[in-house]
Amino acid sequence: MAKLSVITDANGKLLGAVRSEPVKTQDGRMLQFQPHPNHKHHEVEVDDKLLHGPAGELGKFLRSAMK
């Protein structure tokens, strides 16, 4: 299972999602998402199979998780 930070606007519209944990780049640097103060952020656990499937299916899952 992967943890995603799901980003929504003030009205609950899905804006995007990023991995919650730091990610190591090819050159060895670490990247980590920093929340923006004007948006809401929700932690959601997602099955790894869903991450590798069609983006539309992931979007449906994330929208349903926000309700």
Separation of CA 48 from chain center: 13
Amino acid at 51: L
Average confidence score pLDDT of the chain: 91
Q: Where are the domains of the chain?
A: 2-65
**Long-range contacts made by residues 29-33, C-beta under 8 angstroms, separation at least 24?**
33/5
Q: Could you give the percent of the chain with pLDDT greater than 70?
A: 100
**Cβ atoms within 10 A of the Cβ of 16, count?**
13
Percent of the chain clearing pLDDT 90 (strictly above): 67
Supply 32's token pair: 């980590």
Question: For the residues 7-14, what does the mean pLDDT come to?
Answer: 90
- How high is the pLDDT of residue 10? 86
Q: Is the pLDDT of residue 67 over 80?
A: no
Name the pairing type of β-strands 23-24 and 30-31: antiparallel
